[in-house]
Amino acid sequence: MTHPRSFLIAVAATALVVLAVLAVFWLRKPPPPPPELLVVAVANTQFGVPILVAVKQGFFAAEGLQVTLQRHPFGKPALEALLRGEAEVATVAETPIIFASFGKTPFSVIAHYMTSGEHSLVARADRGIRQVTDLRGRRVGVSVGTSAHYFLHVMLSDQGLTEADVERVSVPAPEHDVQKIEIGRAHV
């Protein structure tokens, strides 16, 4: 005959071992997957601010994304980086998207969080430019294929002018506009 106390101790010990093994497997979480890499071509304009804030606040990391930012002076080169396959996401205004849609590289607009509408025309008053109609025959600096280019087109059209009425000077990035005006390569 077995001793009841020994039997109870053996059952209790077996139960504890089984519970401990189950607890280890049940409580053990698999390691988190490695973060997914995401390259964002971000414009150094108001369009890029939400992305920069999200990175700084850790919102992407909290969703398992490791974001690499490519900084671009404005949206058109950011979009061009996306179209060349150098980035998965880009921040860009509407007009470059419209122009790019005529190209052969397919892309999708996956989110829209703001619109462009604040454009200004800066002109050299010392050259006698006081209103839009004074631009006839003048050099106008603009980054072709951008919302600023579209804005110029509309503004000229509203005053009965066309782009043929001005000499368009290609400006590669917004921060160069004022510099070209200051050195006289463009009047506007």
The model carries a pTM of 0.61
Q: Which helix (H) or strand (E) element contains residue 33?
A: none
Q: Which two tokens stand for residue 154?
A: 């509309």
pLDDT, tens only, 13-49: 888 888 888 777 777 778 888 889 999 999 888 778 8
Integer CA distances (angstroms), 108 to 21, 105, 137, in order:
50, 10, 39
Query: Class of 125-182 per CATH?
Result: alpha beta
Q: What is the radius of gyration, based on Cα positions, of the chain?
A: 31
For residue range 155-188, list pLDDT tens digits in order. 899 999 999 999 988 887 655 444 444 455 555 5
Q: What is the pLDDT of residue 177?
A: 47
Question: Residue ranges of the domains in the chain?
Answer: 36-100, 125-182
